Structure 1
Amino acid sequence: MAKPQGFAKVIIVLTTITAAIMELLDTTIVNVALNQISGSLGATIEDIAWVITSYAIANVIIIPMTGFLGEYFGRKNYYTTSIIIFGIASYFCGMSDSLWELVMWRFIQGIGGGALLSTSQAILFDAFDADERPLASGFFAMGIVMGPSLGPVLGGWIVDNLKWSDIFFVNIPICVLATVLTIVFIERKPGEGTHKDKIKIDYPGILLLMLFVGSIQYILEKGEGEGWFESRTITLLTITTILGLIGFIWREKTTEHPVVNLNVFNNKTFAMSSIFTVVGGFGLFTSVFVYPLMVQRINGLTPTETGWSLMLPTFLGVFLFPVIGKYLSTGGKPIPFMVAGICIYVIFGFIGGSSTADMGSADFFPMQMLRVVGVSMLQMPLINQAVAGLEPKDFGSGISISNMIRQLGGAFGIAVANNYATSRAAQHRSDLLANITPENPLFQQRFQGIASMIQQKTGDAFQATQVAYKNIDLIVTKQAYYLAYLDTFRLVSIIFICIFPFVFLLRTPKRSQAEINKLNKAAEEAH
């Protein structure tokens, strides 16, 4: 099948990147609206996290199956249908009037969105020759970083100026446009979707994957609140997680028609890169989950200010990704970029962990610049590494699994960050309360100052005392969460420090021009 050229190629690049941005944008667009959504639906901040994690769980379940589903239904049909499902679910998310209704539609939205990531990447890669794929990786990596980073600024502006439900309605016109462009410009592969009768659906594999992902996500999300293994539910789900994982691996390795081709892990380059992919996803999604909560709760930034403080540095990544991709396409080595990316991420975590409560949006700009540079340096080579050592017939499986692992890392990261911040906040609150005693002169000075000010306004000494105690309690709670968020940033750095030595075990296979030409020919025959 001939590669698209000229205007058609540009449209394919724009369509696939836009779809990827939209899918990932919805992983973070709700972050800056969590307070508003929880207030509107009467849910706690801890429960409202399910609005994010339900979407991530659906992504993680469906992404590894996109290769199979694309083959079964035809890639173009599956891609178009997924865009439509995403748009319809977005509408019902905006119309939801209860937490669990919203969570349900977010899950369905994630099912539709799963194809928009892996299938977009596969379609984009098909539009480029093998020696140009690092450049294609650069374009796609822009979407991976721009999506999560654009979400907060768009969500912030909508929440400040419109209604929180409008953060979902904004997807609908984009879905309509993407559907039209897909139908008109993306071609079907020869024989696409005509072999349904020859393809068996791996129902046990699908069920085992859902069991594993759903169980482990619930454990991470609710384990802290339920006392971990003191809860019978958590204990039972831990058993189902282990059994689900073992059963899934055994099923996919032994069946003739696996829903997920795990044989790509036989490639050492892919297997080792996957470790960094999951940690990279953890760092990417955790940082854009914790940061909005911290700066809004502690620093008093509005949702719009929060979004802009994330978006402006992201424009740097728009220029970095194609440059890095172009360099790699000329034979540049990816390892130095990954080393630099990990080091920068470590520095970012410790800088974020030393923020102060009186910082304004502009003060966070250097910190966010570091984050974007670190993400660019790390994610760009990882996307390229996902297919660097694979044969063309395995590209679809490799891309799907790599995206699943990234989303899984992000889903786990959000759950871990949420639980870690909550537990650390409780510990810090306990430590701070230990200093609030009648013998502490600093406490007495602060307490008397607040009480005197209130008494001057109300003339009621008893009421002034009660309000002063409540104000002190609010100050302690705010400080406890502030310290907990700083701890969470440092946790990200520690995780990157732990995986740093493994980067030197990565190997990128060198291909001659003859091998590249052979790969191109094989890819065209596979298509």
Structure 2
Amino acid sequence: MEDSLVEYGFRRVIITITAIFCALLEIVDTTIVNVALNDMKGSLGVTLTDVAWVVTAYAIANVIVVPMTSWLSQQFGRRNYFAASIIIFTVSSFLCGNASTITELIIFRFIQGLGGGALLVTAQTIITESYPKEKRGIAQAIYGMGVIVGPTLGPPLGGYLVDNFSWPYIFYINIPIGIIATILTIMFVRSPKYSQKLTLRQVDFIGITLLAVAVGSLQFVLEHGQQDDWFNDNKILILSILAAAGFFFFIWREIVAKHPIVNLRVLKDNNLAIGTIMSFILGFGLYGSTFIIPIYLQSILGWTATDAGLLLVPSSITTAFMMPLIGILLQKGVAPKFLVAGGFLVFFVYSLWSYQILTPDTGSEHFIMPLVLRGVGLGLLFVPITTLSLSSLKGKEIGDGAAFTGMMRQLGGSFGIAIITTYIGTSNANHRLNLVSHMPSFSPMVQERVKGLQNMFMGKGFSPEIALDKAYELLNFTVMKQAAVLSYMDVFMGLGILFLVCIPFVLLIKKGAGKVNVTDVH
């Protein structure tokens, strides 16, 4: 990084705020739509499968554009590219809100994802550039606050807007922020001087196409595999093969291309390779647990989307408090690998605690402290993983590294949600069978329970026959609810074991990693 790109005082404050708001816009929009899907479905007269494409289209566009961000910044200049991305995001937000058919909404949402995906990595690079080397840990902490808080802000904000206004407002809310961010970017953000730009003939269009096919196919398989019965569905099977072939040929192309769209050679750096894997696991845990908790609260405990989203706020506040402390620790020379190992350990304890408190009657007071602990774990993980990943890279490789960690975090989230959804679906059936096998209908205890429920319904004025049917219905509902609780318990235990297994690998990272030496971030 050129020293001239380091900012001080008022300029640095403005640039930091602008970059964080842009990162927040992108991440909030990843989760804000989830709570509005039902309203969209009714308003546009489509099925839930159709409206799920609103989420899928955005995610596919995100994952395609993130690895290309470093390259695109070099071609157009970082400030121009960043400003253009905000404009694309803002205009498409307006178009999404005005969409009158599901096809329009999906197309505009895809375009919004192309603008939004660029915001995340570029915002991180701009913040990193604006701070001197000794304050890099603080810079990553400030950026991390936006990235961690974003997924949690989406559901309650979306719930509030849908409950009090209507679903288009979840898109309209981006417009004033986007306009202000565009003006501030043009006025204050500066671009580094790039040594070369490619002519149109040198552009790796084959690489771009292969990346789009591979990532798009994989994202669709992950989003729709569960509802379409995975490989029993021809479409899922074909797209899985396409994804595998696409990645194979993409990797081959990027290795042999003279001007690759994604610099895979940078993965030879051991710290980045390990950091990329850890970013994937962080995404798995962050998005997976952010997804599973509201679903549990709504489906098992009957909470509203807004209330379920609000319960995650204490976790986000804790993470926000942790970020500056972690930045200071890194600045004072604490090895990032010890902070990451601590974060994985805390996440294991959080998962184990959640596993133990889950019942069909668990209240909000039981969730608060485990979620606060989750906030501590995320604080310990995000900044040190990013710092570790980029620690031994130099020059323009830093931008490539940031793009890899960003993409892997997003993919980790997609895998996490897909695997958790699939597991809960199959596990529910298995747990139900197991529970039913332990309570045969001729058992005196079961007969006594049915008789008690029948008497209760008869006391409410039902005939003996209808009361008996209702007694069996209620018993079946109780069994299904218990089976669902057991499935969620399994998920928390699985997440906990995943994080625990990571700790030894983190401690193997070579000594001295974490001192970021940035000379020309792209």
Same fold (TM over 0.5): yes
Aligned equivalents of 1:359, 1:348: Cα separation in 2: 16
* Higher deviation after alignment, 16-25 or 496-505: 496-505
Alpha-carbon deviation of 1:44?
6.7
Aligned equivalents of 1:41, 1:282: Cα separation in 2: 32
Aligned equivalents of 2:482, 2:43: Cα separation in 1: 26
Q: Is the 8 A contact 1:305 1:361 kept in 2?
A: no
> Residue by residue, what CA displacement relative to the aligned partner does 1:371-429 show, whole Å, maximum 9, x if unpaired?
11111111110111232110122111111111111111111111111212112122223
- 1:318 maps to which residue? 320
Q: Is the 8 A contact 2:37 2:48 kept in 1?
A: yes
5+ residue gaps, structure 1, are: none
* Higher deviation after alignment, 233-242 or 307-316: 233-242
Aligned equivalents of 1:9, 1:56: Cα separation in 2: 31
* Higher deviation after alignment, 389-398 or 155-164: 155-164
1:380-399 aligned within 5 A = 380-399=383-402
Aligned equivalents of 2:492, 2:51: Cα separation in 1: 21
Alpha-carbon deviation of 1:219?
3.0
What letter is aligned with 2:268? N
Q: Is the 8 A contact 1:345 1:493 kept in 2?
A: yes
Alpha-carbon deviation of 1:73?
2.4
- 1:253 maps to which residue? 255
Q: Is the 8 A contact 2:59 2:219 kept in 1?
A: no
1:389-428 aligned within 5 A = 389-428=392-431
Alpha-carbon deviation of 1:461?
4.3
Alpha-carbon deviation of 1:120?
0.4
Aligned equivalents of 2:275, 2:5: Cα separation in 1: 31
Of 138, 142, 146, which residue of structure 2 is paired with 1:143? 146
* Higher deviation after alignment, 70-79 or 334-343: 70-79
- 1:282 maps to which residue? 284
Aligned equivalents of 1:8, 1:199: Cα separation in 2: 38
Alpha-carbon deviation of 1:190?
4.2
- 2:355 maps to which residue? 353
Q: Is the 8 A contact 1:76 1:186 kept in 2?
A: yes
* Higher deviation after alignment, 281-290 or 411-420: 411-420
> Residue by residue, what CA displacement relative to the aligned partner does 1:233-258 show, whole Å, maximum 9, x if unpaired?
34333322221111111111111111
Q: Give the secondary structure class of the aligned counterpart of 2:334.
A: coil
Q: Is the 8 A contact 1:19 1:116 kept in 2?
A: yes
- Is 1:4 equivalent to 2:13 in the alignment? no
- 1:82 maps to which residue? 85
Q: Is the 8 A contact 1:149 1:314 kept in 2?
A: yes
> Residue by residue, what CA displacement relative to the aligned partner does 1:179-200 show, whole Å, maximum 9, x if unpaired?
12112221244479x9453773
> Residue by residue, what CA displacement relative to the aligned partner does 1:431-488 show, whole Å, maximum 9, x if unpaired?
3444564314444444444444444445444444444444444433333333222222
Q: Give the secondary structure class of the aligned counterpart of 1:256.
A: coil
Aligned equivalents of 1:221, 1:422: Cα separation in 2: 14
What letter is aligned with 1:236? I
- Is 1:124 equivalent to 2:135 in the alignment? no
* Higher deviation after alignment, 262-271 or 478-487: 478-487
Alignment CA distance shift 1:444-1:95 (3 Å): farther
- Is 1:205 equivalent to 2:204 in the alignment? no
What letter is aligned with 1:296? Q
Q: Give the secondary structure class of the aligned counterpart of 1:117.
A: helix
- 2:367 maps to which residue? 364
Q: Give the secondary structure class of the aligned counterpart of 1:29.
A: helix
> Residue by residue, what CA displacement relative to the aligned partner does 1:108-130 show, whole Å, maximum 9, x if unpaired?
32211101100101111111122
What letter is aligned with 2:79? K
5+ residue gaps, structure 2, are: none
Aligned equivalents of 1:200, 1:175: Cα separation in 2: 33
Alignment CA distance shift 1:67-1:180 (3 Å): same
Aligned residues: 518
Aligned equivalents of 2:144, 2:514: Cα separation in 1: 23
Q: Is the 8 A contact 1:31 1:292 kept in 2?
A: no
- 1:294 maps to which residue? 296
Aligned equivalents of 1:416, 1:124: Cα separation in 2: 34
- 1:162 maps to which residue? 165
- Is 1:29 equivalent to 2:32 in the alignment? yes
Q: Give the secondary structure class of the aligned counterpart of 1:312.
A: helix
Aligned equivalents of 2:107, 2:426: Cα separation in 1: 27
> Residue by residue, what CA displacement relative to the aligned partner does 1:309-338 show, whole Å, maximum 9, x if unpaired?
111231122121112112212322111111
- Is 1:56 equivalent to 2:66 in the alignment? no
* Higher deviation after alignment, 349-358 or 87-96: 87-96
Identity value in percent: 39
Aligned equivalents of 1:337, 1:233: Cα separation in 2: 43
Alignment CA distance shift 1:402-1:99 (3 Å): same
- 2:510 maps to which residue? 507
Alignment CA distance shift 1:85-1:221 (3 Å): same
Alignment CA distance shift 1:161-1:465 (3 Å): farther
- 1:487 maps to which residue? 490
- 1:344 maps to which residue? 346
* Higher deviation after alignment, 465-474 or 345-354: 465-474
Q: Is the 8 A contact 1:16 1:121 kept in 2?
A: yes
Alignment CA distance shift 1:437-1:44 (3 Å): farther
* Higher deviation after alignment, 48-57 or 343-352: 48-57
Q: Give the secondary structure class of the aligned counterpart of 1:4.
A: coil
- Is 1:265 equivalent to 2:260 in the alignment? no
Alignment CA distance shift 1:397-1:15 (3 Å): same
Alpha-carbon deviation of 1:141?
1.0
* Higher deviation after alignment, 139-148 or 346-355: 346-355
Alignment CA distance shift 1:471-1:406 (3 Å): same
Aligned equivalents of 1:471, 1:96: Cα separation in 2: 43
What letter is aligned with 1:368? L
Aligned equivalents of 2:267, 2:309: Cα separation in 1: 38
1:177-216 aligned within 5 A = 177-190=180-193, 195=197, 197=199, 200-216=202-218
Alignment CA distance shift 1:38-1:446 (3 Å): farther
Q: Is the 8 A contact 2:335 2:513 kept in 1?
A: no
- 1:379 maps to which residue? 382
Alignment CA distance shift 1:425-1:129 (3 Å): same
What letter is aligned with 2:287? F
- 2:222 maps to which residue? 220
What letter is aligned with 1:62? V
Alignment CA distance shift 1:47-1:339 (3 Å): farther
Aligned equivalents of 2:470, 2:352: Cα separation in 1: 37
Q: Is the 8 A contact 1:152 1:310 kept in 2?
A: no
* Higher deviation after alignment, 324-333 or 48-57: 48-57
What letter is aligned with 1:281? G
* Higher deviation after alignment, 480-489 or 260-269: 480-489
What letter is aligned with 2:421? N
Aligned equivalents of 1:164, 1:340: Cα separation in 2: 40
Aligned equivalents of 1:75, 1:124: Cα separation in 2: 12
Aligned equivalents of 2:375, 2:341: Cα separation in 1: 15
Q: Give the secondary structure class of the aligned counterpart of 2:442.
A: coil
